[in-house]
Amino acid sequence: MIRTMTAEDRAAYMALADEFYHTDAVLHAIPATYYEAIFDEAIRHGPYVDGYLFEQDGQLAGYAIVTRSFSTEAGGPVLWIEEVYIRPAFQGHGLGKAFFAFLEATYPPAVRRFRLEVEPDNARAIALYQRLGFEDLPYKQMIRDFSAQ
């Protein structure tokens, strides 16, 4: 089951996000205050962030965070799949594939592109994304972070 996060899911989400940010699927851990900020935005149901929890057989199996942007290259709105985390015990059972099917049924036709990032060493995730029709972009991404005030 895939469901939208609610305020009552704070502790569950915080635990899952902490697990995710301590795996090889990310470059480095982030402060817990960042998890809190994204959760607060997701449950606010504003225009930018949606949060989902995955459950299987009555157990919490993972989560996903998606955000929205607009792209000239895509010719319209883009859905960024910011985070998809499925606990190891639930991997390989079709939850990732089900989540992307859920996104396709929920967001288009307004969304023109799905976009995501993946660590180059995350072979299982890359294989799934390729099977789902994702392709590599020949871009080098750059960032400039600003300190939280």
Sheet containing 59-71: give its strands across. Answer: 2-4, 49-56, 59-71, 76-86, 113-116
- Check whether 121 has a pLDDT greater than 80: yes
With CA atoms as reference, report the closest residue to 103 among 81, 76, 135. Answer: 81
Count CB-CB contacts under 10 A for residue 38. Answer: 19
Q: Over the stretch 1-39, which tens digit does the pLDDT of each residue have? A: 999 999 999 999 999 999 999 988 888 888 899 999 999
- Check whether 126 has a pLDDT greater than 70: yes
In this prediction the pTM is 0.91
